[in-house]
Structure 1
Amino acid sequence: MKYAVDKKEQFVLFTLLEEKLDSTLSPQLKSELLTVHAEGYKNLILDMARVKYADSSGLSALLVGNRAFGEEGGVFVLSSLQEHVLKLMRISMLDKVFKVVEDNEAAAEAVFIHEIEQGAEKDEEE
């Protein structure tokens, strides 16, 4: 599986450099997402600009990432989805589960907003 990882202070930008997210790649993607999470990063942006096709196993890998990063108050953001992948998300109603944004700039903004909201919630609890 080809991908690029750019570790920032607030998040990891994980760019998938594949055209298909299917049963051949999904186990590797799950593993890589869980590895990044285990390294202590709370927030991840998955840039899917090059992904033209995804199947149910690909969506399953995304759900694993979403759950892992969401468990500890982090956020998992999907960025730059191609039309076919976005349609599949809508049909399966996963667009209600995932944080989906137009591009990486909007994704970074979503992470910062999430961090602010998390900070506000912690302040209210204290």
Structure 2
Amino acid sequence: MKYQVDKQERYSVFTLDEKNLNSVISPQLKSEFVFLRNEGVRNLIFDLGHVDYIDSSGLSSILTAHRLWKDYGSFILTNIKSESIFNLIEISKLNDILTIVPTLEESIEYVFMEDIERDLVEEE
């Protein structure tokens, strides 16, 4: 599996450099998500800009990441360019569960806004 992780202070960007997110890649991807969560990555942006196809195993790995970050920080899908991926997410009704942001820049802004909101809630 080819990928890149760009770690910043408030977030990390995981860019999958593969055309297909399927049963061949999914187990290793889940392991990487668990590793990043255990390392203390609070906000993970998953960049799907290179991905053209996702199968049910790929969706499962995305849902695993969603569960890992649900009560810890943010998990954001971004840069989805494939119409078939959007359709799969909608058909699966995951668009109501997952945070999907159009661009990487907007995803980073989203992380900062979520952190500000969390800080305000913690102060109350």
Query: How would you bin the TM-score normalised by the shorter chain?
Result: over 0.9
Structure 1 position 121, deviation (Å): 1.2
Distance, in Å, in 2 between the alignment partners of 1:66 and 1:112 is 18
Match of 1:75 in 2: 74
Distance, in Å, in 2 between the alignment partners of 1:103 and 1:83 is 15
CA offset digits 1:99-122 (Å, max 9, x no partner): 101110011011111111111111
Q: For residue 70 of structure 2, give the secondary structure of its aligned residue in structure 1.
A: helix
TM-score using structure 1 length = 0.95
Runs (5+) with no aligned partner, structure 2: none
Match of 1:38 in 2: 38
Match of 2:25 in 1: 25
Match of 1:59 in 2: 59
Q: For residue 34 of structure 1, give the secondary structure of its aligned residue in structure 2.
A: helix
Q: For residue 77 of structure 2, give the secondary structure of its aligned residue in structure 1.
A: strand
Listed as ranges, the matches of 1:1-126 within 5 Å are 1-72=1-72, 74-81=73-80, 82-124=82-124
Distance, in Å, in 2 between the alignment partners of 1:51 and 1:93 is 20
AA of the residue aligned to 2:109: E
Structure 1 position 49, deviation (Å): 0.5
The number of residue pairs the alignment matches comes to 123
Distance, in Å, in 2 between the alignment partners of 1:87 and 1:30 is 22
Runs (5+) with no aligned partner, structure 1: none
CA offset digits 1:50-86 (Å, max 9, x no partner): 11000111011001111111222x0000001121111
Distance, in Å, in 2 between the alignment partners of 1:86 and 1:107 is 17
Q: For residue 51 of structure 1, give the secondary structure of its aligned residue in structure 2.
A: coil
Distance, in Å, in 1 between the alignment partners of 2:88 and 2:105 is 23
Q: Report sequence identity in percent.
A: 42
CA offset digits 1:15-45 (Å, max 9, x no partner): 0000101111111110001101111111000
TM-score using structure 2 length = 0.96
